[in-house]
Amino acid sequence: MKFISMFHSLMLLIAFSTAAYSQKVPDSTRQILTAILDRWHRDAADGKLDAFIGAMSSTGVYIGTDPSERWTTDEFRNFCKPHFAKGKTWNFRPVSRNLSVSKDSQTAWFDEILDTHMGICRGSGVLQMQEGVWKIEQYVLSAAIPNSLMKPVVKTKWGTDSLYLQYLEAGIKNPEQSLEMKAIFDKAEMVGTIILFDPQKNEFMGYNPARWEVGYLPASTFKIPNSLIGLGTGVIDTNYIFKWDGKKRRMAQWDRDLNLKQAFAVSCVPCYQELARKIGPQQMKENLGRFNYGSMDVHPENIDLFWLEGKSRITPRQQVEFLQRLNEGKLSVTPSVLAIMKDIMVNEKTETYILRGKTGWAIRNGNNYGWFVGWIETKGRVFYFATLVEPKDQQQVSDFALARKMITMDVLRHLEIIR
């Protein structure tokens, strides 16, 4: 009896709350809302961009049929503008509509059946009264699929949905744009991944996110933390010279005396092995732990090799997170050390952007793979990236070194971060 009494009380509370929040739509209000929504659809068909977007709240959201299509009002304007300019509009004809209004007449809900170029669709949304004017706060467009067709439709899109889910679960808002990056890797005859992070939007972008959490040897990208630790501990400074011992090395550009900036630029492995030995395993481990830099396996026996071979691993996502902490001054290094590091990391500088980064090349289980990690500064914004590539044909590595940066730059152009 006590349970029944509680259940009845709960049902009464729900019924009272619903009644208090909504009311029958007055005819005058219905006419106004109907006219607003009908005109909104006509403005889209006629390509009247200002009127179409102007009907939405400044904080509004438009959600389309594709998983990637969620736009704020400003983003939706930017999406519509080039289409409307080319006369590529859409004509959604309302067939039926249901309306509800809050008791204070400040909020309205609706759902409607639409006749569209995609067949029958359903639109639903919310309008709010703002300074005496109804504004569309949210609109959701959905493709209406008859139950009898659901199985073949699901079968048709199952493969695409499976791919999309990988990207959506990785925080990528535009899976289709990301999947298009495969062509960039294919053109270079490479497989791999790229992760980019836009801190201004707190948004990840990239290709093949399944590999973002897979650990790899850092290879020569480790020259970034190696330099930081050497400078921070006072083991070296910008005037330090790595003396060439006169022995021929694997790369001709290593066969000379080099300062820190020069050694970084030509990725001199013997120079940085010397630096790691000067730092020593204890200071190396302490600083890497403080940096939270991947999972490095450091001990006295491998102090000058641990980033090139063995068990040390860092994931593409960890590379990006480390770079962001570095650039934002969150690694507990002095401002002077940070300034030196940013200077030696400059890879390319143009009138429109500054590219900072480091490449790396390692061999794992007989397979070559390479890194390009860093960040790009352009138009007052920063984008962090980590690219990891492997040749499709491991016997053909002649273009491999160039492909690491080339793929990165092509992706940045694809995303219109640079031109």
Alpha-carbon torsion angle 395, 401, 405, 406, nearest 10 = -60
* Helices and strands (H, E) in the chain, number of each type: 14, 15
33 with 99: CB under 8 angstroms? yes
Q: Of 154, 192, 212, which is closest to residue 362 (Cα–Cα)?
A: 192
Q: Is 220 a catalytic residue?
A: yes
Cα(139)–Cα(182) distance, rounded to whole angstroms?
32
- Residues 6+ positions from 388 with CB-CB distance below 8 Å: 192, 193, 194, 211, 216, 316, 369, 370, 371
176 with 68: CB under 8 angstroms? yes
Kindly state the greatest CA–CA separation across the chain. 95
Runs of H (alpha helix) within 170-309: 175-179, 182-187, 223-232, 260-265, 269-279, 281-291
Which residue of the set 17, 28, 96, 220 is catalytic? 220
In 234-341 the beta strands, taken as DSSP E runs, fall at 241-242, 258-259
Please give the structure tokens belonging to residue 351: 């009138």
Amino acid sitting at position 305: L
Name residue 269's beta-bridge partners.
Answer: none
Cα(129)–Cα(124) distance, rounded to whole angstroms?
17
The set of catalytic residues is: 220
